[in-house]
Structure 1
Amino acid sequence: MEKSFIDMTIKTYLAEQFFCKVAELEKEQNFFTINSRSELPYIKIMTYNKCVVICTSEALHLKVKEALTDKNRDEIFEFPFIYGQTIHFIPDVKKVQRLPLPKDYSYELLKGSDIQKLKYIKGFDNSLSFDDNAHTRADIIFLAKKDNEIIGVAGASAETNSLWEVGVDVKPEYRRGGIGAALVANLTVDIMELGVVPFYSASVTNIGSQIVASRSGYMPGWVDTYGNTLDGSSVYNDLIKNLVL
């Protein structure tokens, strides 16, 4: 897969998500955009290359623009109404390759409807989870078993037809043995062979997950914020309301 195809796929996705133009993502500049679909107060900030995009709901647009105009990238990401930062990793075409699979386990690749046979599985929320109707967003998974017990899963679900997000879970007692990186690396190659661009996401606080990304042939692509304190999504929402009142 060509690097140019990966880059254009990512930029097209980001432009749609942050209501900006693809060309703007190549500039060293801050952009203020409006999420016209949001009914709740909305602030989401993203940096890609040297640009920063500050996307808000329409009602907040002018106030946020006034507050953040002329601020640098670090100051923008310190805006007090946002929380959480996620690093999104993209394949490094010079490094992506299949990694040797540890010999102590057996492995299985499942696609599409075949994934349904795992509909009662628990504890793999980053890679494979089912709702109350036994529906999952996962399009492909690669799993490891030890004595018939599933101990690790790498899975991917479609963000768009050409872009899938990869996640991985390994049971605690089997970590630090390279199984997570091996699952992700091999699944990544499988996805790219389908003509689809994979990406991998990790919280800025999750060093272990970032190490898995690096060992699996990924490199940082962009960073965005997780949520904002105005729409009630924060786990500290009650505390925020009490402080404000």
Structure 2
Amino acid sequence: NMRWLNERIEPFGQTVCFMAEYYLPDLKLLKKRECGYELKILEKEDFKDLYRPEWANALCMERKELDVLGIGAYDGGNLIGFAGCSADAKEMWQIGVDVLPKYRRQGVASALTSGLALEILDRDKVPFYCSAWSNIRSARNAVKSGFLPAWAEMTVKDIKKVDEING
């Protein structure tokens, strides 16, 4: 268990930090989903003005060179949801998704996630999705979007660094 692991790594100044589950698409379940809003594919050059807090799960300012493709949901001309993917590996692109609070629980996240996954497959890459173990909403979105759990990851970091992260 984690306590056992922490007891053994703490003498080395380390502790468990992040725990995440990773998902791969089930090609029998993955399909285009509707959400009632216009969906539009966005390319890297369209991301310039999107590096803002509301899209922090979809894009990463610190690693923006890896952000390669996205899909936006629009209410009129306003972007209300966005899924982006980063080329975290040569053949695998990781999907992240954000939906503005007012538009949540309307199927926007799953429409964006599944739509982007299909677009990634069309580009001969493997889409994958990640959620923290504690983020049940994100895990449910993965499954609703046609993904299945594939592997889990636990990250160990320096105790001082984890204390900084936890504030």
Q: For this structure pair, what is the TM-score category when the shorter chain's length is used for normalisation?
A: 0.7 to 0.9
1:84 pairs, out of 4, 8, 18, with 18
Which structure has the larger Rg over C-alpha atoms?
1
Alignment of 1:143-154 (within 5 A): 143-154=72-83
The question of 1:192 aligning with 2:118 is answered no
TM-score of the two chains, using structure 1 as the length reference: 0.59
Q: Which amino acid aligns with 1:220?
A: P
1:78-110: CA deviation from partner (whole Å, max 9, x where unpaired): 5212133100111112211111x222x222101
Larger RCO, structures 1/2 (Cα 8 Å, 6+ apart): 2
Gapped regions of structure 2 (runs ≥ 5): 7-14
Output the aligned Cα RMSD: 2.3
Match of 2:41 among 105, 109, 127: 109
Residue 128 in structure 1 maps to residue 65 in structure 2: no
1:233 aligns with 2:161: yes
Tell me what 1:173 maps to: 102
- Distance of 1:180 and 1:126 partners within structure 2: 12
Once the 2 structures are TM-superposed, how far is the Cα of residue 122 of structure 1 from its aligned partner? 4.0
Distance in 2, matches of 1:92 and 1:78, equals: 35
1:98–1:189 contact (8 Å) kept in structure 2: yes
C-alpha distance in structure 1 between counterparts of 2:58 and 2:89, whole Å: 17
* Shift in CA distance, 221/135, structure 1 to aligned 2, threshold 3 Å: closer
TM-score by length of 2: 0.84
Distance verdict in 2 for CA 1:167–1:135, change over 3 Å: closer
- How many angstroms does 1:155 deviate by? 0.6
State whether residues 165 and 198 of structure 1, in contact with CA within 8 Å, keep that contact through their aligned partners in structure 2.
yes
Distance 1:129-1:229 versus aligned 2 partners, 3 A rule: closer
1:211 to 1:110, Cα distance in 2 relative to 1, 3 A: same
CA distance 1:98–1:238, shift in 2 (3 Å): closer
Partner of 2:10: none
In structure 2, how many angstroms separate the alpha carbons of the residues matched to 1:144 and 1:97? Answer: 17
Task: Report the CA distance shift for 1:238/1:165 in structure 2 as closer, same or farther (over 3 A).
Answer: closer
Query: What's 2:32 paired with?
Result: 98
Across the two proteins, how many residue pairs are aligned to each other? 158
What do the CA deviations read for 1:202-241 (whole angstroms, capped 9, x no partner)? 00100000010001110011111134244x321x2499xx
Residue type of the alignment partner of 2:59 = L
Partners of 1:126 and 1:160 in 2: how far apart? 18
User: Which has the larger strand fraction?
Assistant: 2
Q: How far, CA to CA, are the matches of 1:154 and 1:192 in structure 2? A: 15
**Equivalent residue of 1:79, what SS?**
helix
